Amino acid sequence: MDSIETANPLLDLTQGVRSGRERLARWMAFICAAVTVLITGGIITVLLVNAAEFFADWPVWDFLTGTKWSPAIEPVEYGVLPLVCGTLIITAGSAIIALPLGVAAAVYLSEYARPRVRAVVKPCLEILAGVPTVVYGYFALVYVTPGLKSVFPTISTFNTLSASIVVGIMIIPFVASISEDAIRAVPKSLRMAGYGLGASKFSVIVRIVIPAAFSGIIASFILALSRAIGETMAVTIAAGQTPRLVNLLNLDETFLRPAETMTAAMVNIGMSDVTGDSLAYRSLFAIGLVLFCMTFLMNILGSWVTSRFREKYE
């Protein structure tokens, strides 16, 4: 009894010191995690407050439906449609390149490549997303466009085709890696059942594996295109700064001429000497808000679909 009583306070003391440190560690870690929530709150607040000030001077409706973007030259016009048009052209162009290539690469990696080949090929594919976008812009301007000139002699120095090509190359790894996850998640038993019925490898892949992984492949498309929409430097350098609303079906007009994306317009304003008090400065946040909403919705949708396919086969 005695020994326990004398031992107890000592034990309590060390535990007190320990639990104090324990609690401190836990709280510090929690604060770090909470910072990420504050960051999201910060982004939304900064965008909303400044965009609200912009919309007080320039009605939201005029912004969303205006067909002319001219932030610096009088009379100023802030119609976002030409910028959305530019973003759509390049996103669509890069999709034509990246989606089929990415899915085919995913099929190769999951269905054909041996583990050792895969261990080499996969990091090589990831490099495509690791090259800085300003470098891709330079490639497009200095090498891709002159190369395209031999095929399309009328192509402009700044054009959406070269921008689409480099953005497409850049987002291949996003499509490939998420699609590959989805294809790998398809149970082996489904493939075996296909082979058991005498199906060829082609039939098993095209008729069984890809349909089974379809939702995951769609998720990879959504997430990759969200990257393409937010891409900035490559499209600014390669596609130029000419806001245009074009008939998208006229392919020459669409792909061989310059355009301006939402992100490029932001760079354009950021590079000019606009002060914190001008309408042009606040329009940055209005475009930023549109961009944030578009990518946010796509990311939410993409990760929702991804979590669905992960659950499906587990």
Partner 1 sequence: MTVSQHISATTISHAGKQTGHVKDWVLLIVCLLSTCIGGAALFTLLGYVLVDAAGWLDWQFLTSTTSRFPEKAGIFPALVGSVYMAAMLLPAAMILGIGAAVYLTEYARANWLTKFININIANLAGVPSVVWGLLGLGLFIQLFGMTYGTLLVGSLTMVLLILPVIIIASAEAIKAVPDSLRQAAYGVGATKWQTISRVVFPRALPGILTGTVLSLARALGETAPLIMIGVPTAVFSTPSGPTDKFTTMTMQLFSWSDYPQPEFQYGVLAAGVVTLLVVLLLLNALAIYLRHRFQNKHE
CB of 47 to partner 1, least distance (A): 7
CB of 273 to partner 1, least distance (A): 10
Using the minimum distance from each CB to partner 1, give the nearer residue, 232 or 278: 232
Q: Which is nearer to partner 1, 35 or 65 (CB)?
A: 35
Of residues 164 and 226, the one with the C-beta less far from partner 1: 226
CA–CA dist 150, 226 (Å, integer)? 32
CB of 181 to partner 1, least distance (A): 14
Please tell me the distance from the alpha carbon of residue 97 to that of residue 256, in angstroms, as a whole number: 16
Contact (CB, 8 A) for 171 and 228: yes
Element (H, E) at 195: helix 188-196
Say if CB 107 and CB 241 are below 8 A apart.
no
Nearer to partner 1, 253 or 296 (CB): 296
Q: What is d(CA 240, CA 141) in angstroms, rounded to the nearest whole number?
A: 10
Provide the minimum distance between the beta carbon of 124 and partner 1 in the complex, in angstroms, as a whole number: 5
Q: From the CB of 250, what's the least distance to partner 1, in Å?
A: 27
Cis peptide upstream of residue 75 (ω within 30 degrees of 0): yes
Query: Which two three-digit tokens encode residue 260?
Result: 């301006």
- Can you tell me whether residue 192 is helix, strand or coil? helix
Our CB check for partner 1 shows the closer of 25 and 60 to be: 25
Q: Tell me the two tokens of residue 33.
A: 């995690």
Shortest distance, position 231 Cβ to partner 1, whole Å: 8
| Residue closer to partner 1 (CB basis): 72 or 271 | 271
CA distances for 99 relative to 85, 218, 220, 254, 280, angstroms = 20, 10, 9, 20, 36
